[in-house]
Structure 1
């Protein structure tokens, strides 16, 4: 009989204990608290960047394309990115269809210019030959008139006068034709100068295009690893891409001795970033690898990056270490150190609440919470320095107390709150 009531009794007592231990302590009753921390406080901006070589040798295609009205060049084939090449090795082949057509047109224009030179030369030779024959005939005519004058001395004065007039006319005609001949020579020279200039222009055009054709096979200017060039929109120049005649860079040969991380900072944080700030750098591909660097460039003008709704500013960080594992396009985590306070008292940001332009924390005062006004200093992504209002031993609420009705507010002294 005793055993019959013993087991239910044990179960009842166990239920009471379980409720006392677990049932009355719901999630709503849990109050999270912390105590302030004291120590070195780092103010930083964290960004993601991408490695690139600080210095690179450009592998360029035809650089005089604009001279022959070639403005966009298509890449037909290209070595894979990361290919190690030596000076003179093949890198890329550009589409020759347009330049071949230009070369044929230039060759036709050159042939026409050569024909024009030949035609002008023949015409000038014929014209001047006829003019010289005419001069010879006029000289003979002048000689005949002189003979007639000599023979007329036995004739009447009228006949003599007529012979002298004919002689004078022959002499003047000869002189005029000599002047005309000189004019024709100058005209022929001018015509030849014009057609020769046209021929030289067409020859230069042809030579330029012919030389450009050979540049459509792009070779490495030095030893190194081929890295595809990135356009401003982030896309890579590769097989099928077009390059501009204003910037015919096909690829790059980076110098791995000095690397830099290119990152973008939002417009909220960019005012904090300055040249020469120290940066702690991590590599996503090698988590255990830690590097250091320094900010070397901060853009003055913001830009809209793909897949971003806000303006960002380019920041360049030079890596202090030289390491064989570093390669372009590796992703980096950059911690840009803005300021360091050696001995600071700080709390998590979520413990600070703002009312009427004043900052408060909830701290434990005896068994109940109070609202304590605080004076804040520098902050980072997680914490904020508290300059006045709390001590290292205070217990601070991470979340709002369950009931804040009628809670006591403790204000800082007037001389503290009025300070700049």
Structure 2
């Protein structure tokens, strides 16, 4: 009996060793896995992106008009009030570099002096020329009178003498008449020349007045009250002291209308097909994490662009906030959650749980012993989860750290 006891005890020990060898490693593997319990829940497909808060409407604070007409194309900003300054109508906002304009004023003053001298010289020359022409006309008139007298005195002379006197009178009359016509032509010509010189002088003087008026506008004032927000250049950089404005983009800053705010965001080309006008958006403010605002998309760009410092193509999306708040300021960074679609009570698993091959999608779910590979049919996905349409049941557990094949 004692011998039989040893035999049964040894057999039991062997069985335990076999069970441990067969299932011990599987138990260790199960213990090392991280599981997620599948359950029914609501599912949102969301596109997230950052944006910059701006006023939907604003009034521009512009540099002076007429820069191009005055030959000024790049004007530097020499002084600028701090961004966020509250100004009233007519308050100082910025000053522009006046050096190039001052040089043009000196040049035009020299030109005015030249034109004035030219005008005076033309006037003197015209006066002398017309005086000489008038003297010649008077002398010809005297000659005409003398020939008339000679003709009258020759009435008792022979016919040939009378005829000669008539011819001389006719010649004198023709010379006088011709001189009168020439005098009119010279007078009209002199008047036209004087008008031309006078017009040139007036034109230069007007140009000087325009430059003086333009110089007065190099101190930029606010057109109305509000908060000063710097304008961005084509490269996205904000205006600052040392930045330049041009006739094509003379805006120095803006005065935003804070009653309606938008978030200007950019969506990558992978997600842009999911986004459309009218979709609801939840907007968060990075500076105030506890603040959330309901919003909607009001515009989606049709053409992509390449933002500075990035190789990826993005599409501009404008999001309008439905509400406003005193904490909202232009330039704040926003976190935008665009609600693409919503599903009620569906099964989903974390993306880490899904393994994808060319033809199948499957997960590893927890079995009585070890893991069981289960093929699944999936639906829509968001940043973290994907809907499982077939292949899993509620309360089943799937592993997140997939085992090696």
TM over 0.5: yes
Distance of 2:301 and 2:119 partners within structure 1 = 59
Candidates 109, 112, 133, aligned match of 2:111: 109
Displaced runs of 4 or more, over 6 A: 23-28
Are the structure 2 counterparts of residues 322 and 356 from structure 1 closer, same or farther at C-alpha, using a change threshold of 3 Å? closer
Distance of 1:184 and 1:307 partners within structure 2 = 72
Aligned partner of 2:48 in structure 1 is 46
Aligned partner of 1:198 in structure 2 is 200
SS across alignment from 1:290: strand
Residue 136 of structure 1 deviates from its aligned partner by 1.7
Deviation readout 1:111-139 (Å, 9 max, x if unpaired): 32233333323322322222222222111
Aligned 1:16-165 pairs, distance under 5 A: 30-165=32-167
Aligned partner of 2:287 in structure 1 is 285
Q: Which stretch shifts more, 298-307 or 310-319? A: 298-307
Contact 2:226 2:256 in 1 (8 A): yes
Contact 2:230 2:254 in 1 (8 A): yes
Q: TM-score, normalised by structure 1?
A: 0.86
SS across alignment from 2:298: strand
Deviation readout 1:17-43 (Å, 9 max, x if unpaired): xxx9xx998789512222223222111
Distance of 2:76 and 2:403 partners within structure 1 = 68
Residue 342 of structure 1 deviates from its aligned partner by 2.1
Unaligned runs of 5+ in 1: 1-19, 405-420
Aligned partner of 2:307 in structure 1 is 305
Aligned 1:341-420 pairs, distance under 5 A: 341-401=343-403, 404=405
Aligned 1:209-224 pairs, distance under 5 A: 209-224=211-226
Are the structure 2 counterparts of residues 27 and 371 from structure 1 closer, same or farther at C-alpha, using a change threshold of 3 Å? closer
Contact 1:73 1:245 in 2 (8 A): no
Matched length? 382
Candidates 315, 318, 334, aligned match of 1:316: 318
CA RMSD of aligned residues (A): 2.1
Q: Which stretch shifts more, 358-367 or 204-213? A: 358-367
SS across alignment from 1:134: helix
Distance of 1:359 and 1:212 partners within structure 2 = 71
Candidates 263, 268, 271, aligned match of 1:269: 271
Q: TM-score, normalised by structure 2?
A: 0.89
Residue 179 of structure 1 deviates from its aligned partner by 1.0
Distance of 2:84 and 2:366 partners within structure 1 = 62
